[in-house]
Amino acid sequence: MDLKQYIRDIKDFPVQGILFRDITPLLGDKDAMSYAIDAIAEPYKNKNVDYVAAIEARGFIFGAAIAREIGAGFIPIRKPGKLPCRSEAMTYDLEYGSNTIEVHADAVKPGSRVLMFDDLLATGGTMKAACSLMERLGAEIVATAFLVELTDLPGRLMLQKYPIYSVISY
């Protein structure tokens, strides 16, 4: 299935100069959504993954479904102030602006094998921060996985420490 058919390009969103890859048509199509979840999960079945950690908000949409598919738990990496227990935080730069993410300090036991997921890899700042956060908790990163990768940005360079898997590239 050609998943690119279900991704819409929006010019100058959220700021001038950004070509926004809008995945909402894909989310709304039951066959495309199911195909995408299967494609992301497939390489990680039987790889002894303990948890899928995904990044709010768009990462959550697929993250829990992937966790279910591969028989792993789910860890939410959230925007600031949303998690109720003691958390670790990290601030990073985005393709547009900057952001902070947090995770519960007790989310994993040291040595847990974690698959990191986000919907899209652009500069790599978000995923790099998320991996550093999980490593601070003692997690072993199995891989970083994405639905969409933007290859004209230095995302792969930022994440060179980790295996990178993406389903759609631009």
Ligand X SMILES: Nc1ncnc2[nH]cnc12
Any contact of residue 95 with ligand X (CB under 6 A)?
Answer: yes
95: annotated active-site residue: yes
Any contact of residue 18 with ligand X (CB under 6 A)?
Answer: yes
Any contact of residue 67 with ligand X (CB under 6 A)?
Answer: no
> According to CB under 6 A, which one of 120, 137, 141, 143 is a site residue for ligand X?
120
> According to CB under 6 A, which one of 10, 15, 19, 57 is a site residue for ligand PRP?
57
Any contact of residue 144 with ligand PRP (CB under 6 A)?
Answer: no
Site of tokens 């790889």 = 47
Identity at 167, one-letter amino acid code: V
The mark string for 5-44 relative to ligand PRP (x by CB under 6 A, - otherwise) is ----------------------------------------
Segment 4-7 long-range contacts (CB within 8 Å, at least 24 positions apart): 4/168, 5/32, 6/32, 7/148, 7/168
Segment 14-22 long-range contacts (CB within 8 Å, at least 24 positions apart): 14/96, 15/96, 15/97, 18/95, 18/96, 21/120, 21/148, 21/150, 21/170
Residue number, 73 or 154, with CB nearest to ligand X: 154
Q: Tell me which residues are annotated as active site.
A: 58, 95
